[in-house]
Structure 1
Amino acid sequence: MGNAFDDVIGANEAYAREFDLAGLKPMAARGLALVTCMDSRIEPLDMLGLTPGDAKILRNAGARVTDDTLRTLVLAVYLLGVERVLVLPHTKCKMASVSGDDEVHDLIQEQYGVDTRSLEFHTDNDQMGALKHDLERIRHHPLLPKDLPVAGALYDVDTGRVQLVDA
């Protein structure tokens, strides 16, 4: 009987044989930090014309700017060459299609019997309002440079297009 990870570890064998990123510097070569969703329909490098090493990519459910995202951005700006931040949620996001965290908690409780109320999922069905709020969290964070370029955009999972909505 195989391991639950045999497929990905096996695929890594082929990847390692062709691996050519040795020596890549840890700095964001294009000075970009991208905050986007964990959705598997998103290919952050390809969709923005980036290559490995160009950007720091932060992914979470809903592309939300959480306290952990802010902590990571502070490190990225001061230690990893980040000079600009793009927050990029996407269309048809589950975290933007529910009425709130309570709906998600109830769904998980009903379907799986697990009480997740100790977690905050940061759901918001006003996706553009949430994006603007998150951009302001970055723009006004006391440990980030006041002149740090911060923008918001929306990725369309049906067309692959990125539309700038707040720059």
Structure 2
Amino acid sequence: MINTAELVRRNAAFAAGETFVAAPLLATGSLRVLGCVDPRVDPAHVLGLAPNDAVVMRNVGGRVTPATLRSWAMLAKVVEARSQGQANPPRGGHLVVLHHTDCGIRDLTAYPDLLADYFEIPPADLDTKSIMDPYASVRIDVEAIRKALPPGFPVSGLVYDVSTGLIEVVVPTGS
């Protein structure tokens, strides 16, 4: 079990490396990733991302919900505020939706009212979210993101297989 003393020890080792010194608030790249909170599927590890490579947001199922869209909009305002006066402000980007096999969100189908609240939809509409199929759900979520973002913004959808450790491109960028 990891306790507070162990966390303090690990933090001291991290701080000694000074990788955080002068790290910018904004990611050095323009990659944005939406993934699940499942500890087996940390997007930074699964995708081989280094610190500051991307903005990574995680929620239950890695799903696009109204709250997710509101959070992305708020982050866009942070970028806008921090970029004012820069000669070359960050532009464009690529958003990746990362779902995975054996996701715990499937267990929540026993609680339709809870899931409906999460998606902010009537319980009768839950079938439109393809909770049980990560390949279908990633397509649905990529489409929702594409509708919310400016036309032409690159979005792709991946599914991580918890048995093999590999990702599959389900929705290529630009398709």
Q: How do residues 114-125 of structure 1 correspond to structure 2 at under 5 angstroms? A: 117=114, 120-121=117-118, 124-125=131-132
Partner of 1:84 in structure 2? Answer: 94
Worse-superposed segment, 43-52 or 28-37: 43-52
Structure 1: give runs of 5+ residues left out of the alignment: 106-116
For the aligned residue pairs, the C-alpha RMSD in angstroms reads 2.6
Aligned to 2:82: none
The answer on whether the counterparts of 1:101 and 1:120 sit within 8 Å (CA) in structure 2 is no
Matched with 2:151 is 146
Separation in structure 1 between the aligned mates of residue 8 and residue 139 of structure 2, nearest angstrom:
39
- Provide the rounded CA distance (Å) in 2 between the counterparts of 1:61 and 1:131: 13
Specify the code of the residue in structure 2 equivalent to 1:31. S
Give the conservation status (yes or no) of the 8 Å contact 2:97–2:158. yes
Structure (1 or 2) with the greater helix fraction: 2
Determine if contact 1:56/1:76 at 8 Å carries over to the other structure. Answer: no
Which of 133, 141, 145 is the aligned partner of 2:140? 133
1:86 aligns to what SS in structure 2?
strand
Structure 1 residue 27 displacement after superposition:
2.0
Equivalence map 1:60-71=2 (5 Å): 60-71=59-70
Post-superposition CA distance 1:136-165 (Å, at most 9, x none)? 211111xx2211111101011222211100
* Amino acid of the structure 2 residue aligned with 1:138: I
CA deviation map 1:97-150 (0-9, x unaligned): x371527x8xxxxxxxxxxx5983458113223222211211111xx2211111
Unaligned runs of 5+ residues in structure 2 are 80-89, 120-128
Q: Paired residue for 1:110?
A: none
Is the 8 Å Cα contact of residues 99 and 159 (structure 2) preserved in structure 1? yes
SS at match of 1:45: helix
Q: Which residue of 2 aligns with 1:111?
A: none
Deviation at 1:18, TM superposition (A): 2.0
The alignment's TM-score, normalised by the length of structure 2, stands at: 0.72
Contact 2:146 2:155 survives alignment (8 Å):
yes
Distance in 1 separating the partners of 2:67 and 2:137:
17
Give the distance between the partners of 1:101 and 1:120, measured in 2 at CA: 14
